[in-house]
């Protein structure tokens, strides 16, 4: 088959992988298909951790032994180790498949390339790196988790062309259009957790759920409130009283007061009281607690204070910025990221492995943050052979 044929089938495998969007953590999204005589005869995706992998589901969907000309397309290098499920490489060889076309290489340094070696040793012809960048982009969270052992901390903002998130009076709804907001819900569905600051909670009273095609899904919802100022006597925020309140976690410090902690717990809201000499939550401690709880990724949606502190602490790994064709041209308009003293271009924070997308009239720029004089762990992970941003 030609390179165009390989790319077409791999794009289909990527689409199949997305059927597991947001459901596979801490495992990766993977799609697989079996092609015979130029036609797709079976498809499979990884649905949830602990369940069969995409390659196994594709073979089961086929329901028979593949033909001699069959090709397996898979978005990620097949596993060659025994975890909660047997190695996919063994199943591929045992099924009689003689050709595999793969996208991304396993991001785990201990496993990278070994699955391909096992397949080749079993007599399977292997072609790698087909749409490797697109395939790796499926697994921003998984790859960061595997390479660093840390949750991926990402931030989302919607800004004007001159970088403002609200007018001088605080008005911010809506800077971006419906298409951009729909895409943001898609990314909410991808992340295991969403976080906001107490100021945003009080001002906007958000639900922090993903609403797609009439279906509402609730991730873990974090509220950063070092002094528990969001705990009100007369009117509690919706996150503390709605039907998803047991998936809400208020992250605070001993400065918040145990009485308020008990009040939240009585409502069914969880609290993480992290030690801190000041009322500000330490993001490194928060990341460590997330890792201990198995939460592999957090999407921070505001407000400006939390996102700026996250950036200043160099604890932000990834950024989504939706930019609308709107100008405020007002020095007193509100900016989302601030507090640094950037005196030269060389000392600026840059994005790497950048993606550009258009949603309606708005544009999305997203990528990993590279801090000056520091290569972030995620860049090290994605700077492997076969990854082409």
The length of the chain, given as a count of residues: 389
Helix %, strand %, coil % for the chain, to 5?
30, 25, 45
How confident is the model at residue 171, as a pLDDT?
A: 63
Please compute the mean of the pLDDT values over residues 356-384 and round it to a whole number. Answer: 76
How confident is the model at residue 78, as a pLDDT?
A: 94
Point out which residues pair with 270 in neighbouring strands. Answer: 249
Please compute the mean of the pLDDT values over residues 366-387 and round it to a whole number. Answer: 61
pLDDT tens by residue, 91-110:
999 999 999 999 999 998 88
Average pLDDT of every residue of the chain = 89
pLDDT > 90 in the chain, percent: 70
How confident is the model at residue 281, as a pLDDT?
A: 92
The residue assigned the tokens 């990993």 is 368
* Structural contact between residues 386 and 132, judged by C-beta atoms closer than 8 angstroms: yes
pTM for the full predicted model: 0.89
How confident is the model at residue 340, as a pLDDT?
A: 67
| Distance between first and last Cα of the chain | 24
The residue assigned the tokens 């009100």 is 232
What are the structure tokens assigned to 133, written together? 């960048």
What are the structure tokens assigned to 366, written together? 């997203």
Q: Please give the C-alpha separations between residue 101 and each of 9, 131, 359, 371, in angstroms, as whole numbers.
A: 10, 10, 31, 36
pLDDT tens by residue, 22-56:
999 999 999 999 999 999 999 999 999 989 999 99
What are the structure tokens assigned to 348, written together? 């600026």
pLDDT tens by residue, 79-88:
888 777 788 9
CA-to-CA distance for 199 and 379, rounded, in angstroms?
Answer: 32
CA-to-CA distance for 379 and 5, rounded, in angstroms?
Answer: 30
Q: Which positions are annotated as active-site residues?
A: 55
């Amino acid at each position: 088959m030609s390179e165009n044929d390989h790319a077409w089938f791999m794009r289909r495998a990527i689409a199949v992988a997305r059927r597991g969007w947001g459901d596979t953590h801490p495992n990766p999204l993977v799609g697989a298909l079996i092609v015979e005589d130029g036609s797709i005869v079976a498809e499979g995706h990884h649905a949830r951790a602990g369940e069969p992998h995409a390659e196994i589901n594709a073979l089961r969907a086929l329901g028979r032994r593949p033909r001699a000309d069959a090709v397996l397309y898979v978005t990620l290098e097949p596993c060659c180790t025994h975890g909660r499920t047997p190695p996919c490489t063994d199943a591929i060889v045992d099924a009689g498949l003689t050709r595999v076309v793969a996208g991304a290489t396993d991001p785990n340094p201990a496993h990278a390339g070994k699955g391909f070696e096992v397949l080749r040793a079993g007599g399977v012809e292997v072609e790698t790196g087909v749409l490797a960048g697109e395939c790796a982009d499926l697994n921003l969270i998984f790859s960061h988790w595997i390479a660093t052992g840390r949750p991926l901390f990402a931030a989302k903002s919607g800004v004007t062309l001159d970088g403002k998130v609200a007018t001088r009076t605080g008005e911010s709804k809506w800077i971006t259009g419906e298409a951009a907001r729909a895409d943001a819900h898609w990314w909410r569905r991808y992340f295991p957790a969403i976080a906001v600051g107490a100021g945003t909670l009080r001002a906007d009273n958000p639900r922090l759920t993903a609403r797609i095609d009439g279906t509402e899904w609730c991730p873990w919802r974090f509220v950063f409130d070092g002094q528990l100022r969001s705990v009100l006597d007369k009117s509690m925020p919706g996150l503390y009283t709605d039907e998803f309140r047991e998936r809400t976690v208020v992250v605070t410090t001993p400065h918040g007061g145990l009485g308020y902690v008990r009040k939240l717990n009585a409502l069914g809201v969880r609290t993480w009281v992290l030690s801190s000499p000041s009322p500000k939550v330490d993001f490194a401690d928060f990341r460590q607690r997330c890792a201990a709880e198995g939460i592999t990724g957090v999407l921070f949606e505001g407000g400006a204070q939390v996102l700026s502190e996250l950036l200043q602490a160099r604890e932000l790994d990834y950024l989504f910025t939706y930019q609308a064709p709107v100008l405020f041209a007002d020095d007193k308009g509100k900016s989302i990221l601030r507090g640094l003293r950037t005196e030269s271009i060389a000392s600026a924070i840059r994005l790497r492995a950048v993606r550009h997308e258009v949603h309606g009239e708005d544009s999305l720029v997203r990528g990993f943050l590279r801090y000056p004089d520091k290569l972030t762990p995620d860049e090290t992970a994605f700077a492997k052979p076969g990854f082409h941003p």
